[in-house]
Structure 1
């Protein structure tokens, strides 16, 4: 039997918070500030908030999922170890689980998964605790095209989506990797972007942003690391779909330098 390998890729989606104000100084009515606004900023805006204990000494990660798509206990344990190793959160990291209604629109685009977050998210920044949203969806990405598949996307400063159906399709293959391996690598890679990597809110100590030739032959920074052994290398998530990968990838030397310089471990 000949098996065709489908190679996924990672796509960064950026969301920008638009603020407006009224010039009518005679208006006696004021709109109370939105308590969730701090969690609706552009990707990378909260990099230092994740890494250091300056503003937030603890973190609450909302693990949202459609029934049947809950990440495995091993995946959650891997994430706990990942956070402990990289983040300065002396107050600890806790998980809050939220079951989201099944989606009915088919493959999801950005507007649709942002709406799902808006309708279901319950965890936001509160006091000295940073709030995070991670959604394990029951669908694929609408941006999948041909042999390219998207496994996950970080799209706001404290938000990311993991396309659970795509992960399951790869893990069900005869030579497919374990679902835990796919969940762990994909989610940790997306958190790397939330941490501001690469050059996405966390400045580079040494230049190591990967550049890929665009259609005009020019070099285009793509917010990934150019070290092949790094969790943030653009091909790492794609390699996770193969059983050739042994163990779980970690941040490379250059990315670790960046994280530590911005308040992390």
Structure 2
């Protein structure tokens, strides 16, 4: 029987480690090859506890890309950051300076197209060896494929917003919500879904009291709550708004607190 040299044994051990380590998988997300990757392609809500608690990640950093002509409203991003600080148990949260990316010029976008745009444009990802969870926002120049929503949460750390729909819904006219208000509500609402609201299986953000509006999917049944379905519905958006950003109601707050949030 042929004896194995120390060099051969070491090589075999390294190969075995590669088989079982996610750090050796095909690096399709742009991470450094030496990092142990954190999956960013899971269903929305499945990173809820990582967002809400400080147990694994003590900081949150958000990357923002926007297509030419659709830069995010600065006050709306400030509002989103304030929302994070209010509801997340993090030592620090930050939203990076938005980056302009080329306009594609599509009238509408499918979720698959949005995912492809993220793969092409996203720069910052999470490593499980890091203390910072990194999330992604992309603002495109068209509408969503069904033309009726302001934003979508499409991966566990990713959300997309539709600039053309913002322009239809908001404006300076009498009774029209401002761009600041429209974007603030939309950003907060979609991150609410990333936090596991309302009743997303596997998120850990379980309902402490039954308050799901089952006729309208994963939304709250309180029409004054940020997570009410009309808050993302372009056709109904302005019917439920005053001048203030709707807050999460007591039931939604209790759900977040039950999964490590505030």
The two structures share one fold, judged by TM-score above 0.5: yes
Correspondence for 2:249: 252
Structure 2 runs not aligned, ≥5 long? 1-11, 32-36
Correspondence for 1:189: 189
Alpha-carbon distance between aligned partners in 2 of 1:172 and 1:250, rounded to the nearest angstrom = 22
CA-to-partner distance for each residue in 1:148-200, whole Å, 9 max, x for gaps?
x1111101100110111110122247342111111010110000000000011
Which moves more between the two structures, 34-43 or 46-55?
Answer: 34-43
Contact 1:60 1:96 in 2 (8 A): no
Structure 1 runs not aligned, ≥5 long? 1-24, 213-220
Q: CA RMSD in A?
A: 2.3
Greater strand fraction, Structure 1 or Structure 2 = 1
Pair 1:161-2:164 in alignment: no
Going from structure 1 to structure 2, the CA distance change for 1:242 and 1:167 (only over 3 Å counts) comes to farther
The number of residue pairs the alignment matches comes to 229
Pair 1:86-2:87 in alignment: yes
Going from structure 1 to structure 2, the CA distance change for 1:211 and 1:134 (only over 3 Å counts) comes to same
Going from structure 1 to structure 2, the CA distance change for 1:74 and 1:169 (only over 3 Å counts) comes to same
Contact 1:181 1:240 in 2 (8 A): no
CA-to-partner distance for each residue in 1:101-123, whole Å, 9 max, x for gaps?
10133311111111100000011
Going from structure 1 to structure 2, the CA distance change for 1:176 and 1:51 (only over 3 Å counts) comes to same
Alpha-carbon distance between aligned partners in 1 of 2:213 and 2:159, rounded to the nearest angstrom = 22
Correspondence for 1:218: none
Correspondence for 1:211: 214
Residues 17-96 of structure 1: matches in 2 within 5 Å? 30=18, 32-33=24-25, 34=27, 35=31, 38-96=39-97
TM-score relative to the length of structure 1: 0.80
Going from structure 1 to structure 2, the CA distance change for 1:179 and 1:46 (only over 3 Å counts) comes to same
Going from structure 1 to structure 2, the CA distance change for 1:91 and 1:244 (only over 3 Å counts) comes to closer
Per the TM alignment, residue 40 of structure 1 is displaced from its structure 2 partner at its CA by: 1.1
Alpha-carbon distance between aligned partners in 2 of 1:236 and 1:244, rounded to the nearest angstrom = 9
Correspondence for 1:100: 101
Pair 1:230-2:233 in alignment: no
Contact 2:42 2:156 in 1 (8 A): yes
Q: Which has the larger radius of gyration?
A: 2
Contact 2:71 2:98 in 1 (8 A): no
Per the TM alignment, residue 97 of structure 1 is displaced from its structure 2 partner at its CA by: 2.4
Per the TM alignment, residue 244 of structure 1 is displaced from its structure 2 partner at its CA by: 4.7
CA-to-partner distance for each residue in 1:48-83, whole Å, 9 max, x for gaps?
000000011001101110122111111111111111
Correspondence for 1:137: 140
Greater helix fraction, Structure 1 or Structure 2 = 2
